[in-house]
Structure 1
Amino acid sequence: MERFEGVYVAIVTPFTPDTTGVDYARLAEHVNWLIEKGVDGLVPCGTCGEYQQLSSEERSRVVETVIEATDNRVPVIVGVAAPTTVQAVGWAEHARRSGATGVMALPPISYKPTWAEVVAYFQALSDAGLPIMIYNNTHDNATDVTPDLLHELEQIENIAGVKEFSGDIRRIPEILEKTNLQVLAGADDLALEGLLAGAQGWIAGLANAIPEQCVQLYREVKAGNFEEATRIYRSILPLMRWDSTPRLVQAIKYSMELAGQPVGVTRAPRLPLDANDRKAVEEAYLGCVQVLKS
């Protein structure tokens, strides 16, 4: 089964200035820029991609644009979260037809399901035929996909791994002890801890704005250069912390503007950052720029 290792970017969706449309040309440019900066994979239509604010037509075209622009240079894992199983399976089938490498799936998002319902949901997704990266996000989702639940879920064909975003770093070694699943760090502000705990990769949000720093951090860890990895991490951590806040997408898009890679603002109900938050993001971003100069 496909192995997902390295730095994967939970890619944002660029909008037109009035946010009424998606800027697909800008999206393709962003894909190319990220690949040129050395990222190992892309994840469209996740939280950072504002999938819930996209129409079905927009969402389909976003996936197709990312896959086409990638041109088989890096893997693409498509977010397939949706209110119903039928819809989620439909997005998984669309991802397969479009040439995706795999899919990333939250548990059912509409309510807190039973254990049996979670298993049935992922079985239905498996039938679409692509490797599945389970997304455990206890901050925004009612279901905690625990290591014991993952042990049961891995019996399903096509379950490949888990993006772990519970915030409990102890989960990663426990998952590796109880399953054979691949684990990817999910929280930017626990990336170093997650990689040291055994995560094979990292699905990063702020990598949209600072891909070189994120890739360098990952490579230093894998090379065993922990002192240098720690130096990089401490420099980018103030910006990384925005990934675990409700305003993560706004912070990412504003950081991209600071990086000279503007993609517009977020769609409502997300509102722009206020002056204090913009200043905090600016100061944090400057620390990230300095790390590559030192």
Structure 2
Amino acid sequence: MTSTKALRLEGTFTALVTPFVSQTKAIDFPSLRRIVDDQIARGINGLLSMGSTGEFCTVTHDEHDKVNAAVIEYAAGRVPVIAGTGSNSTEEAIRLTQAAKDAGATACLVAAPYYNKPSQRGMYEHFKAVQDVGLPVILYCNSARSGATMTMETVVALAKLPHVFGWKEATASLAQASNVAARTDLAIFAGDDVLTLPIMAIGGVGVTSVLSNIAPEKVLAITDAMRRGDYAAARAAHFESVRLCGSKDY
């Protein structure tokens, strides 16, 4: 099986919100198109659809597929698109991932199976089955939201699979991110805006950002500066981002 680990994704990837029509609760696809176009016009490096910010666990399976496909269509190759394809059902995660691959996704973000709390062996088999689809997989274990945990031994074992490409650090743990960086070759993304600079300082490639939905330039200022090695500028932009994230308006 040919590996997809040579893929390079770097910088700020906006974890897109999913707009809804208030009267009908249907997905507002015209607004979604405008959001995608605006993000790209403002210089974003890539997009993430159907992540936690996109409310992947509260839409129907059909809506999930359609949002992923729509973002890929609207991006039209201008930036890479990471499609969220997580589910606590292995078969559903496989189906979502295959649909995203067929639609042209660059990679997929796969959440650890939530609620069911599988064993570490079960966790490994879940991700292994999903990566067999052949789309580059970014592992995502948000324990605070999902109730699922993944040991470092499981992460290391998964990192050896040909299509497990990345790790989204969503636990706010620099110790865990450092272990992933030290023990695997996974591309590490910050999963929390206030940790973008620290994660990139230990070798992370960027962030899946919530803040960039409203202020992409603020987040890009951090990732662009880190990528060019301007640490003073990155630190100044980081502190501004931290203040924004802590404000009542965020």
Instruction: Specify the TM-score bucket, using the shorter chain as the normaliser.
Output: over 0.9
Give the superposition deviation at 1:126: 1.1
2:68 equivalent in structure 1 = 63
Give SS of 1:202's match: strand
Write the distance in 1 (CA, Å) between the matches of 2:58 and 2:120: 29
1:18 equivalent in structure 2 = 23
1:249 equivalent in structure 2 = none
1:273 equivalent in structure 2 = none
Question: Which of 198, 204, 221 is the matching residue for 1:199?
Answer: 204
What is the correspondence of 1:150-165 to structure 2 with a 5 Å cutoff? Answer: 150-165=155-170
Q: Which whole-Å deviations, capped at 9, do the CAs of 1:106-163 have from their partners, x for residues lacking one?
A: 1111321111101110111012110000012121122333433211111222000100
1:141 aligned onto 2:178: no
Give SS of 1:170's match: helix
Give the superposition deviation at 1:19: 5.4
2:53 equivalent in structure 1 = 48
Given residue 13 of structure 1, which amino acid in structure 2 is its aligned partner?
T
Further displaced range: 222-231 or 59-68: 222-231
Write the distance in 1 (CA, Å) between the matches of 2:204 and 2:24: 36
Question: Which of 177, 189, 210 is the matching residue for 2:194?
Answer: 189
Give the superposition deviation at 1:207: 0.7
Question: Which of 80, 95, 103 is the matching residue for 2:108?
Answer: 103
Write the distance in 1 (CA, Å) between the matches of 2:24 and 2:163: 36
Question: Which of 129, 137, 141 is the matching residue for 1:132?
Answer: 137
Question: Which of 8, 12, 20 is the matching residue for 2:13?
Answer: 8
TM-score (ref. length: structure 1): 0.79
Write the distance in 2 (CA, Å) between the matches of 1:57 and 1:112: 25
2:241 equivalent in structure 1 = 236
1:166 equivalent in structure 2 = 171
Give the superposition deviation at 1:241: 4.5
Question: Which of 27, 32, 53 is the matching residue for 2:32?
Answer: 27
Given residue 43 of structure 2, which amino acid in structure 1 is its aligned partner?
G
Give SS of 1:4's match: coil
Give the superposition deviation at 1:25: 0.8
Write the distance in 1 (CA, Å) between the matches of 2:228 and 2:162: 33
- Alpha carbons 1:139, 1:166 under 8 Å: kept: yes
2:94 equivalent in structure 1 = 89
Given residue 107 of structure 1, which amino acid in structure 2 is its aligned partner?
A
- Alpha carbons 1:189, 1:241 under 8 Å: kept: no
The alpha-carbon distance between structure 1 residues 43 and 37, as it changes in their structure 2 partners (threshold 3 A), is same
Task: Give the 4+ runs in structure 1 shifted more than 4 A.
Answer: none
- Alpha carbons 2:196, 2:206 under 8 Å: kept: no
- Alpha carbons 1:84, 1:110 under 8 Å: kept: no
Larger radius of gyration: 1
- Alpha carbons 2:111, 2:142 under 8 Å: kept: yes
Q: Which ranges in structure 1 are unaligned for 5 or more consecutive residues?
A: 243-279, 285-294
Write the distance in 2 (CA, Å) between the matches of 1:127 and 1:111: 22
- Alpha carbons 1:148, 1:178 under 8 Å: kept: no
1:36 equivalent in structure 2 = 41
- Alpha carbons 1:5, 1:200 under 8 Å: kept: yes
Q: Which whole-Å deviations, capped at 9, do the CAs of 1:157-190 have from their partners, x for residues lacking one?
A: 2000100111111222221211111111111111
Q: Which whole-Å deviations, capped at 9, do the CAs of 1:184-222 have from their partners, x for residues lacking one?
A: 111111111111122111111111110111111111122
Given residue 145 of structure 1, which amino acid in structure 2 is its aligned partner?
M
Give SS of 1:140's match: helix
TM-score (ref. length: structure 2): 0.93
Between the aligned residues of both structures, percent identity stands at 28
Q: Which whole-Å deviations, capped at 9, do the CAs of 1:214-261 have from their partners, x for residues lacking one?
A: 11111112222222222222122133348xxxxxxxxxxxxxxxxxxx
Q: Which ranges in structure 2 are unaligned for 5 or more consecutive residues?
A: none
- Alpha carbons 2:88, 2:116 under 8 Å: kept: no
- Alpha carbons 1:164, 1:185 under 8 Å: kept: yes
